[in-house]
Amino acid sequence: MTTTLLTGPATELDEVIVPLSPPIEVFGGQAAALQVADHFHRGKQILGRFERSGLVGFKVVTRGRWLRVKVALALDETSFPGWHLDVRGQAARLPQRLIQVRAQGRLRQCVLLKGGPGIKSGQAVFDLMPEEVPDDGLVCVELLDIAEGRGVSPEVRAALAESVMEGGTAGLRVDSVAFEEVPEPRAVQGEELDAARCELLSLISSGGLANLNRRGGRTIRSGLFVVNPVPLGVFGSGGRLTVRLGSRADLSTGRPATARDRALMRRALRRVGGEARRLRHATREALCTAAPTVAQIMSVQDGVLNLPTRSTSGNTLELDLPAPLTSPMLVQAACRPGAIPTLVSVAWTP
């Protein structure tokens, strides 16, 4: 275990640690206000990487106000080799990781990040009340795998055993942590946002945003997504949520197409012309006429919940959920073979 803790100058020659004064965002692991690093490798252009579940602690000036914390997480190609090995010593390549984000010892949100090429980024956003920050101003952000720590339902861990990577914090990149003082929360009006913006706000976590400018729906190939508690007074805090799910055809073959495959396909399309296009379109429509189904909905802390009110129209399924207040909710969705569930949008009624 690599833990460092500096509480202040021991002699007159020691440097005085200046705490962070919000609003501020920390991008490098060499910042003096980063006082605690547990199982964490400090970086220079990023905050650093976790070797396994651990925490980072920052000295922050709060002035008795609410403190909003934003933690930017990411997976890249170097998040696997040398950080997470299976029993044969090979780099683990399971499809996704589910991470608990805790602060001051309490679960705040969960972030689902899928592997694969490119950078998969996500973020957790939560508020700390004035009484949650001690007099010394130490704010501790802890990242744990979903299978670790207290307060996670055994039903949740059993349901996720085969679908998420074990030890998902290994090699996890922390790009930055931002602190911002916010006024005491106030009520806002309800509205409807697409799935991509909901993930950007951290209300939804469905695998990470590869493109932060993307708008619209999100494909849920694994059939799993998270509905998170969000800060009071913002979209999705309290009240009811209407989560809209759809489906689309999955015409992939399960393996990359070779040059010979592509040549044969071009010849076939030239022979049959428009008939092939009409057949492909009809197949896509037939596969997408049925709405996705929801296997179960679970609270991370409390386990399986009673299924909410649902309504179906065409290939759209609407879930009526209470907005989570303290514990993230996991939703497991599925479609018939040949179709993929998609997360379309979320409507909020305060």
User: Which residues share a beta bridge with 67?
Assistant: 128, 181
In 3D space, the residue among 123, 139, 210 whose CA is nearest the CA of residue 175 turns out to be 123
Regions of the chain short of the pLDDT cut 70: 1-15, 81-82, 84-94, 185-189, 210-212, 251-266, 268-289
pLDDT of residue 156: 95
Q: What's the confidence (pLDDT) of residue 118?
A: 79
Q: Which pLDDT score is estimated for 101?
A: 98
pLDDT of residue 253: 45
Give the end-to-end CA distance of the chain in Å, rounded to a whole number.
45
Q: How far apart are CA 291 and CA 335, in angstroms?
A: 7
| Phi, psi (rounded to 5 degrees) for 196 | -65, -40
Q: Tell me, what's the pLDDT at 1?
A: 45
* Per-residue pLDDT at 4: 47
pLDDT for the residue numbered 8: 52
Predicted pLDDT of residue 47? 96
The CA-atom distances, in angstroms, between 166 and each of 92, 147, 197, 321 are 9, 8, 29, 29
The SS3 assignment for 69 reads strand
**Best CA proximity match to 333, nearest among 300, 301, 290, 303:** 290
